[in-house]
Each structure stands twice: as C-alpha cells, then as structure tokens.
Structure 1
C-alpha cells in the first residue's frame, strides 16, 4: 500500500496509518481509495484481526477532503468536456460504496483523530464505529463543503443527521460550520475527547473493550433518527418546511449546493443507508456537473490556497518575517492592522500625532481581544498580546522596526511628510508599505529615497474580519518589497492578491462601479428599492446604495474631486458625479452622519430616504429586476476586464479572489473572470454592446474582449482542468 501503513499488534488490533505521499495533508484520491479497499478486505477476512483503528501519520492533521486533481478528472480533466451527471455519479459513488464496506465489515473500527479532520476525512470518521479525538485548540472537525459550492458527498449528509438530528446537522452543514473537540463530544459527533497525542492509544482501548461494537446504529432494526424524521413527524416537517425558504432567502436562489443538500437529507433520511447514499451521490453528481461548482472550487479553494502559499512571491527572495512593525496611524484601520499583527506575535509600535489617539488605537486592540476570551484566548494570552502594542507620538520609538505600514489621512502631502520623517529614523533600506485605497503608489513612493522598497498594502475594513489584502506594485517596487509584504500577509493569515499601480488599483476601482451604477439608476428615476433588491438578488452582500452609505458618500465625493484635480482634462466624468455632489451638499454624507441614501433614526430601523422621490422623480416606466441586475453585474465585469487589459491585473486568479473577498462580488460565480468564461466571451461582448448602446460608453467592450470573442479564447484554461491544478 502506498498511502496506508497496515500494522497488527499482539492484541489483534490493526492500525491503519494514513500518510498520502506527496501531500502536506492527507487527501482522498484513487490510490488512497484502492489502499483503503484492500485494507477493509484484510480486516474483514483475517480472523486474527479483532478490530481496527484508523489514524494519520502526518503532523498536519487527520485528513482533509478529496484530492482536487482527482476531482478535476471527474469533471473532464484537460479535455474541458464536462461529463454528464450520470457519468459523474459512477465515479463519486465509489467512495460511498467504500465507506459502506468499512462500516459493515463485521469488525469494530475506531477513528483516532489528531488535528484537522474535515470534508471527506470527516466522512471517513463518521463511517467508523467509534471516534476518539485528541484535545487541541487547533483541532477542527466538520463538513465545510458548502462554502466552496459543493455539499458532503461521501455519506456525510446521511450519517451526520442520524447522529445528531436533522435540525442541528443542517445548521452545521448549510453554514459549513466546524466543531471544536468539546463541542463535537457534546453533540455526540465524537465518542471521547482525550489529551492530545493519546487518540490512537485510547482508540485501541475502545476497540478492545467493545469487540462486538461492529454495527452502526442506523443498521440496527428499529433505529430512530434523534428528534425524529419522516413526512409524518411534526418536528421534521417543520424543520424542512422552514429550512427551504430560509436557504432560498439566504442564497437568493443563486446557489445549487444548499438546495441539493436539503433534497438529499429530505429524501434519504428515512431510507436504509445503502439507498440513502445513492440518493446523496445522485444530488452530488448533479451539483458537480454544473460549472458553478468547479468555478467556486477553483476560486474559493484552489486559487485562494495558492495565493496564501505564495504563488505570487518572488522565488529567489529569502524569507522575511516581520518581528517589529511600525504602524503609522492609530485610526480604525491602523488599530485593526496593529491588532492582527500583535495576534501574530509581532511587536507593534502604534504611532499617531496625538497620544490620546494612539492610546485609543491600543484600546481598540484590547476590545477586539476581549471578544475572543473563552474562544481559544486565555486572559494570560490576551495580556501577552496586548503588551506587544506600544502607543507613541515619538518617531524615535520606531527604531528597530523591520517593516512599516502607513495608514494616515488619505492626502498625498500628509503621507509624504510622515514618510520622510520615518526614513530619518529607520533609513531607506526598510520596506515601507502604504495602506491607501486609491492614491497611486508610484507617486507616494517619491517621498522614500529608495522607491524599490516602497509598496502598497491595502487592507479592508474591518481589518480583523476581512480576509483580503491587496498588494500594489509601484513602477519601481522591487522583489524584496514584494516578498516582505507577502510574508507579512502570510503571518497574519490573510489572503493576498498582487496588482499593478493605477488610480483605485483593482478592488476600489471595480467596487466603485457597483455603487456608481446604482447611483446613476437613481438619477434616471429607477425606484431605489428596486435597485437595492436587485443588488442583493444578484448575490452581492448588500445593495449599491446601502454599501455607498457604509463607505461614506463624503469619502466617495472626495475621491472624485481628487481624481478630477489630478487628471485634469483626462478625467472622464460619470453621470453619478453630480448626484454625489448634490447629496453631499445636502449634508447627506452616509451612515456616519445618520443620513445618506438611507435615514438612520436613533433606536429605529434604517429606511430609504423619502426625499429621494422628490429629488429624483420616478420614471413612468420602470425596468424589470433582471434588467437592473444585468446593469449592476456587467458594469462590474467590464471594469474588471479593463483592469486586465491595462495590466493592473496580471492574472485572472487575482481578479476573481480580489472581487469575491475584497468587495463581495457574487461568490456563486467564482468571480468575474470565471463568470465571463462560463457565459462565454462572445456572449459577454454582445450584452455589453447592447448596454453601451442603451446607457453609454461606460459599458463598451475592451479591444481585448473583442479579440477573445473572435478567437474563442478564455481567461482560464478549461474550468475542470484548472479546478484540479
């Protein structure tokens, strides 16, 4: 066996130690399944074997899910020809058959879990008769497949409800929520939690003490699902009746996997397990056959992991971890960066011009940490983390820092002043990162003697929660600066993209078009409620007007004024510019002033400002919701395509990751570039031409898009092939 070490001890207990070669984490592929099949045959047929324990030989954890190269081959591999759901069923059902063989082998099998056990690895554990978990704060168990466009396809959708009840299991599976060891034990998902490192020994004891425990509860005649199941059970009927509309509302009917999961549970829960897993595989194959799954797997898992592992990092640069961070600016952004840096073990000097502001920044760090107490953070660890943050107004206190991040007011002159004073203390050999959302990095770098050591590091608010960091390269930014910035992002466990310099970079520039198009439709007399609902139905987190309020109408207006001043005659005015100026002139600055597109009454619920109807009289004929959705979507798509043509983006991978994690672009699409590939570039160009004719040149296709449409080119290679990479 290549991936399983099979050993039998003097008590007749076989230990199957999984160690898939060439992988940092155990994954399920054809070789592993062949080895597991052979191991099950030995367990069942050899009389000397009294039972078995399945464990991991890797320090990284027990097991993750399916090997994505194998998953990609199921979807057609390099050919790009997507097989039928029936063909996919034949392949995915193999795992379900294998796990059924395991739990019906006639011998007790225990699973010894140390570390991460998710996806297909957790489904393997669920097929064992006992589950013993080593207690570690890093250990997580569960079925997170829904987060990448799939759902449990190795029996998880059938076994978990039979263990913990339908309602509770759906809450976990529909959210992709993971269990900590104690929580899993409380929910009876695992049988025993033991000290870390003791799982294998305790699992063997469990097998020896229960030599006849070789039948799963659901295979015993008369078994009843905890909490009840079946159409005549009131609790089950109520759960399913509520789950469907809630899921449809949450997903805006855009996601395939959650509905398929509900169908698999509803149809399979009262059937014998052999029939139930066939139903699960049927729905899994249907989901996998749709491009949505491959697009989401590629962007939300494969490409995201590649970015986090340094796909864009210069290979010839030595590792450059940050030990002491000079954080300039203690506002919400600076304090947030200081928080994640201190949590990552760095010493942080939190600088501001006013000591009270610097202290307020450290207080923010403390508040964030307090919320984590009891959730993996002890009071001692909190005190240790907080002690790493030193608020100051003294530039001299920055001495010894090996990385600088600036997050002061968005003004070129103010940033230049601070940059020069920092260089006087640290020297120009230190890497300097500017956290700006729109100001060109090349211009800001002029204040640093060595522009090759200057780089953009754009965080998103709130820093503690937002997963993306946009790394921006100025025209002279060198490889050492890129490596330093990416190593810092890795230390704070966030996802980076790397883009080239331009006003607004990639994320701010493209996100702004979503808001602008909403504003322009308001000016045309389109019902604001229709615009907001269409945005949410498109799959965006909130409508364009609501998010405009959150960001601040005043800030958006200042960016417009700055761009107009900077670009002069080259500035291309948008219909929304005058609208924003008018709103700001009325003092409607956004949520921070309790009035913008919405009113925010104290103690009440926000609502669209009634004055909009007077200010922008409703058009006599209103468009349908699909037409509004199309405008909001394609306005973003064309701006993303422009960024790619202009070289702001170098890869579609960065474009898709940045869109989904940066401004919440509809995740079910896999990102704007995945979506354009799926729709077809020629079809995208046709829609853009139609919209440009109706609404103006902002929708005009790029020359590159027209060339791609004519040649049949795509941004990616075939979806299935890239999903497996």
Structure 2
C-alpha cells in the first residue's frame, strides 16, 4: 500500500489524471505537509511535453476534498505560524493555476473549504449531479476565512455579492446551484464525469472569465460606488446578526474589498494576515473545539463497547407537534418506516401534513423531485389501534406530560410489540426511572428528549435510568444519529441536563423583570451576549404554561433554588400562554413581519413599573452565571459524563453562544475563582439561589480548569 497521497497517470490522449487519495482516511483533507508531493507532480507535468491537459480528481468514491485538516492549526503557536500556512496554500494554488496546460477539477461529493480553493485555482470545474456533491467555503463556521486564495478567486468567478453570501454564511451549494452561479461549467452523471473533464482539459487554457451577472446585480458590481454599497450593506447585516461577537465575517469583507480595490497581491497578503490573526482568537479556538467534539462523539456508542441493535421499523405514539416532528425526521432523515399512532384521525392527519410540508418545501426549492418526495412520504403510515407494530424496533412516545398516561403507554407497548422493542419517552421533565416502574422490561425503557421544532434543533438527550441496558443506550444513540441529531447521553433526574440549566437562567430573567427591568432590555442584553433569542422571547415561544408546569417538578426534586418567581402565576391567571394563544409578553396580532412590539399591558398584570436600572452586561451576567453554576452541579452529580457533553448540550440544545465554546469552556476563560467571587457577591445580595457549587469552589481553591 502506497504512502503517497497523490498519483499521476498520463493517458494516450495526453491528459494527465492527478488522483488524491489520503491513505487510511475515509475523506480527503488537505495538509501543509502535502506541498512537497504536489510540487513534485507539478514539476513532472512541466517537464513532460506530451501532456496537453490535467484533470484533478479524487480516489475516494463520493468525496472530492472535504477541506483542510484543521488539526494542523492547533500546532500554531503564533499568528505568524498560521500566516505561513495561508501563504503556503496561496503559493501552491498559484503554481497550479500557472501551469501552461489547462487544469480541470472533476468533482464528486463534498468540495469544501481548501478543496474548493484548489478547484478555484483550476481553469475549469466539472461536477457530478450526485446528491452528495456540495461546494462551499464553510470556514466562517470555525471562526476563520478561506486562506488559500478563496477570498480573491471566488468574487472574480461568481461576483462580489454571491461570494460574500457564500463566505459569510458558510452555506453549501448543490450541483445545480453551483452551475447557476457559474461556479462550475457543467454538472454531469458520475459515469461520464472524468470523460467530460478530459474533454475540457483538451480545450486549451481558459481566458479570464467574468461573473455571469444580470440586471441590478450587474449594475451594482460594475462600479466602485455599487461595490461600496454591497460591502456597506454586508457589514451592517453581519453586525446585526453577530452583535460583534464573531471577528471573522468583517475580516472576510475586508479581504474581498482589498483585493478588488488594490489588486490580487494586496488581497492575498491581507487574506493571509487576517487568517493568521483569526486562528489565534479565542472565538476560533472555541468553534474548532465544537467541531472536534462533535466529530469525536460520532465515533462513540454512548455505552462503552455495547453494539446497537439493527433498526428496521419505528413507531411514534402521539400525532401532535412533537410526534409529527419525530415521525418526520425518522422517515425523511433516517429513511426508516415510521408508524404513527394517535387516538383520533385528526391527529394522524396533522402529523402527515407536518411531514408533507417539510418535503414539499424541498421540492419547491428544487432540492428533491416530486417522485423523491412521494417515496419519502410512503415510509409513513398511521393507525388508531395497536396493529402492524409487532416487529417495531423502537417506539418513541410523545404524549402529554402525565405519569399515569405514560405508564399506560409502556404497558400497551409491551403487550403489543416484541420483546426486543425499546420504549423511548420524549418527556421533558418526568424522571425516566418513574416511567420505567410500570415496565416488565425496564432495561428497554429510555428517555429520548427532543427539542422543538424537531426538524431544526440538532440536539437530543438520551436519558438512561439505572436499569437501562447498555445495548438499549447504544441502539437509541444510533437511532438519533440516523435522524441527523447530535445525541448526548445523560443520567436520569428531574429536568435532565438542558432544561435544568435553562430553568435557572429563565427564572433569573423573570426575577429581573419583577425588579423592574424592561422586557426588551432583558432580551437585547442576552442577544448581545450571544444567545439567538432573549429569555423573554424564548418563554413566549416555548409557552408560559409549559414553564409553569416544569418548575414545580424541578423544585420538588432539586430544591428551593428552582422555585418559580411569582410572575408565572400572575401571567397564567391573565390567560397569557405566549405565542400559542397570541397573548404573552409580546404582541402577536396582524400580519406584520419582523420584530414584535412588547405588550405594555403585561407590566400592569405583573404589578411593576419598568425602569431599566441595570446595564446590558449586568443583566446578562446575572442570568448566565446561574446557568454556569447549575451546569457544574450537573457534572458534579454525574448527570452529564464530561464537560465536553455539557458544552455540546448547551450549544445545540439552547443556543449557548458557540463562540464561547459552551458553559465549561467559558468558565475556563473566566476562571473558576472569578466565577465563585461573582456568585458569592450575588448570594450576599439576593440569597442562596446564587450559592456556588461545591465543585466550583474546590476548583477555585486549587486553580483548576475543566480542559487542559
């Protein structure tokens, strides 16, 4: 077996095929250590006068180049170390572009980051029409920017506005979109991909190309003033979206602007300099840690060496919003047959309509054909009785939060399904051990807590009670992954992990509100801190009645620090449930889009006069330290297995700011000692709900961290 990554094969037609195939890896990624090998190949091509063109392809089926290997960035000790990596990539791709014969990228599968930058250095790009083929520059999601010349080549190929959209969002284009944008010349069936690429390789060097723009787009980009408008608008949108918490987007804009205004050399220089600076930022370090954590978690069963059982058929109990969402991701993402049971036909029809809406959206966006939509929908079936379910492998229960009802569901499933069938409850607050008390096979009972809306929220909590078998855990984790979810395994207990840390954060926001802080001030402060929405908006979205129902369960199981503020009772007495009944903290009438105005009458209901005495940073700190403190308690009690799981759970479950890396990485940044001091200061002023966790106090005394 060769230890080389690149091979060269010259055909009788004079076309040289360069094949990239990183030994021992499932996907190709670029490393700076490959530079010498590539330069040797380029030297061979220059010396061989029989070569008329070059096709660059991958030796890995369904995968072109997934990007650069970001592990190499961890070795960078200084900004200059990272600057040199960028400079090296730019120079190598420039050498590829400078070949006197045409070079064609034959793309099948993911072509991302450095992989797309390599393709951009080629004269032509041909891609397969496979559903796996996607092109993009997602570096911004790691707090970085395209550092191999991408900020310079992409705008010149597809236009300023389109390139900024790609780089600032990190979104990936499918084959048809890439063709429409002018990113690739052709999309062809995989069977003829290399043949078509060969034809292009014999066409001769490509002349300078202009973006395929029309109308207002063309008019804007053809003048310096128009481009200034594009850059200014992009900057405003970035700041509105990121609240200034992410440095990479503004640096991307600066790279593109510099290159277009001052030329390629200046553009390459500022790209490498900004890349070097970004690699060393705490934001990029945090975002890269999330990437590594999720990659690592994909290899774990969640239960040591236990192997998951095969999954062939699923049943969902309950056709409501959650049940419909769970059935939808089971059929559409996991591609498993799912049978939905509800007590009435309207519930079943709603669940089917929910799934149809998801797939039909994709048809309208031309991401799938009507035939593919119908095939996906054929995986869903419905029933009002326990029939056709003897062979189901897992039942996901999504009925009301009532212990007696859930006990009945367990008994019904055990009476009608096989002995191997797993019973997974989507409860958000009831301990799984209590649900399992009704089971004759408690080892098959587990929690599977989804977040709403199911099709969008990436996290699920897999909750094991003391009697859950390792095999059941492993199978449930595998099932969640098939649905496209990131599962974390947590131990049983009221609120589990995510709702438990969220509850104290929300309670503190309610306390601040009752102290006279305005609704919009609270929401703005936490959005500025980095949450996707503020706590008051979140309460309206989740439902004030839901929050009120969970609080007593948490208080009875975990103590007085979870006591709900008086706000809940007052709001419910006024029939304020939030968005669901159009009556909450915000106004929901009318068809106006955008930000909803505060319903000022809520202050009268709460008996307060809003004054707004505290700064944004004070408002955010009081809510966030409660979440951090409770996260440490969850680790201390073994609810979560590691700081890594706690960080991923908080980021993917409730939108904890990704640029901070999660509660535990953020505590490391603050310092345990500093956090304990802040908590004790609040404890003196507001009581024992701010008492620091024992583990946190011990860490502060020993000057310890959660991560090395």
Shorter-chain-normalised TM-score: which range?
over 0.9
Which residue matches 2:345?
355
Match of 2:244 among 249, 253, 278: 253
Where does the alignment leave 5 or more consecutive residues of structure 2 unmatched? 211-216
How big is each residue's C-alpha offset from its partner over 1:392-442, in whole Å with a ceiling of 9 and x where there is no partner? 121233221111111111111110011111111125432111111111111
**2: CA distance between counterparts of 1:439 and 1:650?**
20
* Contact 2:322-2:454 at 8 Å conserved across structures: yes
Which residue matches 2:399?
408
How big is each residue's C-alpha offset from its partner over 1:234-271, in whole Å with a ceiling of 9 and x where there is no partner? 11011111111111111011001111111111222233
**Quick one: higher RCO (CA 8 Å, sep 6+), 1 or 2?**
1
* Contact 1:522-1:616 at 8 Å conserved across structures: no
**2: CA distance between counterparts of 1:695 and 1:216?**
68
Which residue matches 1:722?
none
Matches within 5 A, 1:265-276: 265-276=256-267
* Contact 1:516-1:576 at 8 Å conserved across structures: yes
Q: Does 1:633 pair with 2:620?
A: no
Q: Does 1:394 pair with 2:396?
A: no
* Distance of aligned partners of 1:648 and 1:250 in 2 relative to their CA distance in 1, 3 Å threshold: same
**After alignment, is 629-638 or 537-546 more displaced?**
629-638
Which residue matches 2:214?
none
Matches within 5 A, 1:8-23: 8-23=10-25
* Contact 2:630-2:693 at 8 Å conserved across structures: no
Match of 2:274 among 239, 262, 283: 283
Q: Does 1:603 pair with 2:605?
A: no
How big is each residue's C-alpha offset from its partner over 1:625-650, in whole Å with a ceiling of 9 and x where there is no partner? 11112222222211211111111111
Matches within 5 A, 1:44-193: 44-74=46-76, 83-193=77-187
Secondary structure (helix, strand or coil) at the match of 2:548 reads helix
* Contact 1:321-1:488 at 8 Å conserved across structures: no
Residue 320 (structure 1) shift: 2.3
Q: Does 1:594 pair with 2:582?
A: yes
Where does the alignment leave 5 or more consecutive residues of structure 1 unmatched? 75-82, 219-224, 718-725
Which residue matches 2:319?
330
How big is each residue's C-alpha offset from its partner over 1:458-503, in whole Å with a ceiling of 9 and x where there is no partner? 1111111221111111111111111110111122122111111111
Which residue matches 2:679?
688
* Contact 1:110-1:129 at 8 Å conserved across structures: yes
**1: CA distance between counterparts of 2:552 and 2:573?**
14
Q: Does 1:499 pair with 2:473?
A: no
Which residue matches 1:511?
502
**2: CA distance between counterparts of 1:671 and 1:315?**
24
Residue 54 (structure 1) shift: 0.7
Residue 683 (structure 1) shift: 2.6
RMSD: 2.1
Which residue matches 1:6?
8
**1: CA distance between counterparts of 2:356 and 2:612?**
53
* Contact 1:256-1:287 at 8 Å conserved across structures: yes
User: How many residue pairs align between the two structures?
Assistant: 695
Residue 315 (structure 1) shift: 5.0
Secondary structure (helix, strand or coil) at the match of 2:286 reads helix
Matches within 5 A, 1:666-681: 666-681=657-672
* Contact 2:105-2:122 at 8 Å conserved across structures: yes
* Distance of aligned partners of 1:185 and 1:124 in 2 relative to their CA distance in 1, 3 Å threshold: same
Secondary structure (helix, strand or coil) at the match of 2:202 reads helix
Q: Does 1:311 pair with 2:300?
A: yes
**2: CA distance between counterparts of 1:599 and 1:23?**
54
Residue 616 (structure 1) shift: 4.1
Q: Does 1:698 pair with 2:686?
A: no
* Contact 2:551-2:562 at 8 Å conserved across structures: no
**After alignment, is 327-336 or 685-694 more displaced?**
685-694
Match of 1:364 among 334, 354, 365: 354
Q: Could you state the TM-score of these two structures normalised by the residue count of structure 2?
A: 0.94
